[in-house]
C-alpha cells in the first residue's frame, strides 16, 4: 500500500489506517478478542501500518487489545491513542468527564504505555478540547512527554482552527483527527486550509459516514441501544430516508468505476490531499479487504469535481452527534 506523510512531521503511515474503536465499544457489544486479533493481523498483512485507539474505548480494553495484537510488529507499525477523559463521579463513574490538566496527562500516558506494551506512543491525541485548561498548558504537557521520550508526536481531535494554532505554537501538531467524509464536509471551510498552511496532517475518522456510505443502511435498519448510532439524529428513520439520496449518488459513481460505494468514498478522501489518511473501522474481514482495495481506486480531478457537484445537491438531514457530544466539538 502507498505510504503517506502526515503533514511536515515526517511521520509516515499507510494511506489507509484502521480505526479500532468498534472492536470494543460504541458499535454494539465488544467483539471476540481472538477474531479481532486475527483481523488486525490481516490488516498488517494487507499493508496497514497505522492503527487508531483511545484510552476511553472500552474504556481501556481497546488499548489492551491492540497492545496484544500488535506486539509482534514493534518498530514496523504506528499506533495512535488519545487522552483527555476520566470517570465522572456524578454519572456513576462513566467516562464522561474531560480532563486535560498536565498532571492528568502524565498519569494517563503511563496507563496507555502499559496497555499498548510500547516504550513510546507514536501519536498522542487530545481527544476533545477541555475548556477548563488553556490549550497552551495541554500542549506544553505533551511537549514535556516528547522531551522525555514517552511520546513521539502530538495530535488533536475535533478542535477548531484557532485552538489548533495556539497549540501548534507551543508544540507542533502532527495531525488533526476529525470527522470528514462525503457525509460531513464542514472541515473544508476553515480546517483544511489551516492544516495545509501549518503543515499538519489530517486523519478523517468515520470516512464512511459511520457505515452509511457503504449502502448497507436503510430506513428499516435497527440499531441496538448499545450502538452509538441509535442516539444520533442523522440516523433517525426519517433522516436516513432523506439522506439515502447521497448514497444513490455515490452508488452511481461506484458503478461507473467498477468499485463499491465504500471504495469510492475512501478514494475521494485520498484524492483530496496527499496528507490525508482516513481510518475506516470494521470488525469484519470482508469489509477490511473491501476498504483496502479502496486505496487502489484512483479518481481524477474531474472525477472528484463531478462527485462533489452531484453530492452537494443533496441536503444532509440531522445532526451528526447527540447534544452532549455536539457541544464538545469545534472548540
* Neighbour tally for 104: CB within 10 Å: 19
Does residue 277 sit in helix, strand or coil? coil
pLDDT band at 231 (very low <50, low <70, confident <90, very high): very high
Least confident of 155-164, 233-242, 322-331: 322-331
107 is a domain residue = yes
Would 314 be classed as within a structural domain?
no
Q: Mapping DSSP to helix (H, G, I), strand (E, B) and coil, where does residue 274 land?
A: coil
Share of the chain above pLDDT 70, in %: 100
Angle at 245 between CA 304 and CA 17, to 5 degrees: 50
Q: CB–CB of 279/269 below 8 Å?
A: no
Q: Cell 465522572 sits at which residue?
A: 88
Residue 91: pLDDT band (50, 70, 90) is confident
* pLDDT at residue 93, as a whole number: 80
List pLDDT tens digits, range 156-183. Answer: 999 999 999 999 999 999 999 999 999 9
Whether the model pTM is above 0.85: yes
Residue 177 lies in a domain: yes
Q: Do the domain assignments include residue 217?
A: no
> What would the DSSP string read from start to end of 20-62?
-GGGTSSBSSPPPHHHHHHHHHHHHHTT--EEE--TTTTTTHH
Q: Which residues are catalytic?
A: 57
| Residues 102-152 pLDDT 10s | 999 999 999 999 999 999 999 999 999 999 999 999 999 999 999 999 999
Cα(148)–Cα(102) distance, integer angstroms:
14
Mean pLDDT of all residues in the chain?
A: 97
Q: Is residue 170 part of a domain?
A: yes
Question: Each residue of 292-322: pLDDT tens digit?
Answer: 999 999 999 999 999 999 999 999 999 999 9
pLDDT-derived band at 189 (thresholds 50, 70, 90) equals: very high
- CATH label of the domain that carries residue 64: 3.20.20.100
Residue 316: which of 226, 253, 250, 252 has the closest Cα? 250
The predicted-structure confidence for 261-294, as pLDDT tens digits, reads as follows 999 999 999 999 999 999 999 999 999 999 999 9
282 φψ region: left (φ > 0), alpha (ψ -120 to 50), beta (else):
beta
Query: Is there a domain that residue 312 lies in?
Result: no
CA distance 112 to 235: 33
How far apart, in Å, do the first and last CA atoms of the chain sit? Answer: 35
The total number of residues written for the chain in this structure: 331
Residue ranges of alpha helices (H) inside the chain are 33-45, 61-70, 102-116, 135-147, 161-170, 187-198, 237-256, 261-272, 285-294, 301-312, 323-326
Taken in order 249, 250, 251, 252, is the CA torsion positive or negative? Answer: positive
Sorted by sequence, the CB contacts under 8 Å of residue 307 that are 6+ apart come out as: 182, 249, 250, 253, 264, 268, 299
- How confident is the model at residue 207, as a pLDDT? 98
The domain tally of the chain equals: 1
Is 235 part of a structural domain of the chain? no
For residue 250, being part of any structural domain is answered with: no
- Domain of residue 111 covers 3-210+262-297
pLDDT band of 230, cuts 50, 70, 90: very high
- Is 94 a residue whose pLDDT tops 90? no
- Which grid cell is 77? 507499525
Amino acid at each position: 500500500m502507498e505510504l503517506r506523510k502526515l503533514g511536515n512531521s515526517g511521520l509516515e503511515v499507510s494511506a489507509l489506517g484502521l480505526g479500532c474503536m468498534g472492536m470494543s465499544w460504541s458499535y454494539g457489544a465488544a467483539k471476540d478478542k481472538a477474531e479481532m486479533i486475527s483481523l488486525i493481523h490481516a490488516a498488517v498483512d494487507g499493508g496497514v501500518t497505522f492503527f487508531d485507539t483511545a484510552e476511553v474505548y472500552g474504556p481501556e480494553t481497546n488499548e489492551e487489545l491492540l497492545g496484544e495484537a500488535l506486539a509482534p510488529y514493534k518498530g514496523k507499525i504506528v499506533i495512535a491513542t488519545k487522552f483527555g477523559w476520566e470517570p465522572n463521579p456524578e454519572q456513576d463513574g462513566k467516562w464522561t468527564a474531560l480532563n486535560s490538566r498536565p498532571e492528568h496527562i502524565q498519569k494517563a500516558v503511563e496507563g496507555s504505555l502499559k496497555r499498548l506494551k510500547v516504550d513510546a506512543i507514536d501519536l498522542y491525541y487530545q481527544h476533545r478540547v477541555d475548556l477548563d485548561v488553556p490549550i497552551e498548558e495541554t500542549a506544553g504537557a505533551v511537549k514535556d512527554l516528547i522531551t522525555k521520550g514517552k511520546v513521539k508526536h502530538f495530535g488533536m481531535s475535533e478542535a477548531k482552527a484557532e485552538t489548533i494554532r495556539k497549540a501548534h505554537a507551543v508544540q507542533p501538531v502532527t495531525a488533526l483527527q476529525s470527522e470528514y467524509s462525503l457525509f460531513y464536509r464542514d472541515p473544508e471551510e476553515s480546517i483544511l486550509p489551516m492544516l495545509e498552511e501549518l503543515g499538519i496532517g489530517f486523519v478523517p475518522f468515520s470516512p464512511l459516514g459511520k457505515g452509511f456510505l457503504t449502502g448497507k443502511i436503510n430506513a428499516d435498519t435497527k440499531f441496538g441501544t448499545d450502538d452509538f448510532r441509535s442516539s444520533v439524529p442523522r440516523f433517525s428513520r426519517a433522516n436516513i430516508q432523506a439522506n439515502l439520496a447521497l448514497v444513490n449518488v455515490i452508488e452511481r459513481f461506484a458503478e461507473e468505476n467498477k468499485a463499491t460505494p465504500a471504495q469510492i468514498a475512501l478514494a475521494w478522501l485520498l484524492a483530496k490531499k496527499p496528507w490525508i489518511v482516513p481510518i475506516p473501522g470494521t470488525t469484519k474481514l470482508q469489509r477490511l479487504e473491501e476498504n483496502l482495495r479502496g486505496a487502489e481506486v484512483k479518481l481524477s480531478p474531474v472525477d472528484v469535481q463531478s462527485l462533489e457537484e452531484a453530492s452537494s445537491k443533496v441536503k444532509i438531514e440531522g445532526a451528526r452527534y447527540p447534544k452532549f457530544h455536539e457541544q464538545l466539538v469545534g472548540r
